[in-house]
Chains A and B, each alone.
Chain A
Amino acid sequence: MRPMQSMYRRRRHNVPSLNMASMPDLIFTVLFFFMIVTHMRSDEVKVRLQVPQGKEMQKLMNKQSVVNIYIGRQGDAWHVQMNGDLVSPTEIPARIEALRAAMAPENAEHMTVNLRADRHTPMGLISDVKEALQQSYALRINYSATELKKE
């Protein structure tokens, strides 16, 4: 054997392998980060909507006491979706009552309706929903929007 060849062979065999032992730990850390900072999306939005943009935003606190109402298009018609399913404005008071009964008393007291409505929704529909909410005494209402940076 020539010494040259033997050296070449030795090199090919000892390719250092990357130590992957810490990789799972790293990814788990990222995973836990995401688990903590996010909340599960509870309901599937069945209507298409794009919320307006505003400047004077407040964060919506206390997720347990929030009822979501989505108003948007499905095909050509406007629809109102409450938490999981499509409703008509006249059904809202009964549903609010049911939701309020299911909530813990301290949450029911601060019940907030998060209104996510498409920016082109006619106000007539919004007024109907608001009137229904007034009837059921759900008076805290949050007009959901995306933040426009203040200049």
Chain B
Amino acid sequence: MFHKRYRKQIPELNTTSTADISFMLLIFFLVTSSMDTDKGLLRQMAPLPQEHEQPRDINRDHVVQVTLDADDKLTCDGKTVSFAQLTDEIMTMASVNPSGHVVSVQADRATTYEAYFHMQNAIVAAYNTLRQRYAIDHYGKRYDLCTPDERAAINEHYPQRISESALQEGGSR
């Protein structure tokens, strides 16, 4: 009888605290890690001009001059515009002359970053819309579903021609 009783009560490992331990690990990871993947506008800057390079002449008619003044006022070729209007302006310019137009961007030193960012966002939106259209017309699918080769072809058709360096007026053209 004694033997039987002993067999029945096999000592169990007390695992109640395992849950607490793993909860602590979980909370540690929750605190030290960040869930959000970084998102943003990826831009490629132009390298610094070399000494021997001459500034290139561009026909004034092909330039969209975008400026931001100290009060975050956006002007496009002298007219005050909203960010959505800027997108339209650039879209017309880039669709008329995809490989020859230049978007010249100038921001005052007192402009806030937010205005500058929205301007960049509007410019990128213009190009994205044009590329999207081109992709649907020529490949019958959305730009983000195209193969890398197709995308390269689209990007070549609608290159982003943005200049942030100061323009020099002049010439008699």
B48 and chain A: residue at smallest CB distance: A134
Instruction: Name the distance in Å between B43's Cβ and chain A's nearest Cβ.
Output: 5
Residues of A within 8 A of B18 (CB): 23-24
A116 to B52, CA, bound (A): 34
**Contact between A140 and B44, CB atoms less than 8 A apart:** yes
**Chain B contacts for A144, CB-based, 8 A:** 38-40
CA distance A112 to B68 in the complex (A): 26
Expressed in whole angstroms, the minimum distance between the Cβ of A111 and any Cβ of chain B is 12
| Known A34-B30, A120-B114; contact A142-B42, beta-carbon cutoff 8 A | yes
Binds B, one of A3-11, A38-46, A81-89: A38-46
* B60 within 8 A of partner (CB): no
**Minimum Cβ distance to chain B for residue A147 (Å):** 6
Select the residue from B16, B43, B45 with max chain A CB neighbours within 10 A: B45
- Select one of A27, A121, A145 contacting B41, CB under 8 A: A145
Residues of B within 8 A of A130 (CB): 45
Contacts of B1 in A (CB 8 A): none
Task: Flag whether A95 is at the interface (Cβ < 8 A).
Answer: no
**Is the CB of B58 closer than 8 A to any CB of chain A?**
no
Does A30 make an interface contact (CB < 8 A)?
yes
Which residues of A have CB within 8 Å of B121?
54-56
Task: Give the interface segment out of B3-11, B19-27, B88-96, B146-154.
Answer: B19-27
Number of B interface residues, CB 8 Å?
44
Chain B residues contacting A120 (CB-CB under 8 Å) are 112-114
Closest residue to B16 on the A side, CB-wise?
A: A20
Is B124's CB under 8 angstroms from A56's CB? yes
Q: Judge whether B47 and A123 touch: CB under 8 Å.
A: no
Partner of A37, one of B26, B35, B48, B107: B35
Q: Are B37 and A60 in contact (CB under 8 A)?
A: yes
Interface membership of B33, Cβ < 8 A: yes
A117 to chain B, nearest CB (A): 5
- Show 12 residue pairs from A and B whose CB-CB distance is below 8 angstroms, ordered by the A residue: A24-B21, A27-B23, A31-B26, A34-B26, A56-B128, A57-B41, A123-B113, A124-B109, A134-B45, A143-B120, A145-B117, A146-B39
Query: Chain A interface (Cβ within 8 Å of chain B)?
Result: 20-21, 23-24, 27-28, 30-31, 34-35, 37-41, 52, 54-60, 66, 71, 112, 114-115, 117-124, 126-127, 130, 133-135, 137, 139-147
Since A24-B19, A54-B41, A139-B45 are in contact, a sample of 12 more A-B pairs with Cβ atoms closer than 8 Å, ordered by chain A residue number, is A30-B26, A59-B38, A60-B37, A112-B42, A124-B109, A134-B45, A140-B42, A140-B43, A141-B44, A142-B41, A143-B120, A145-B41
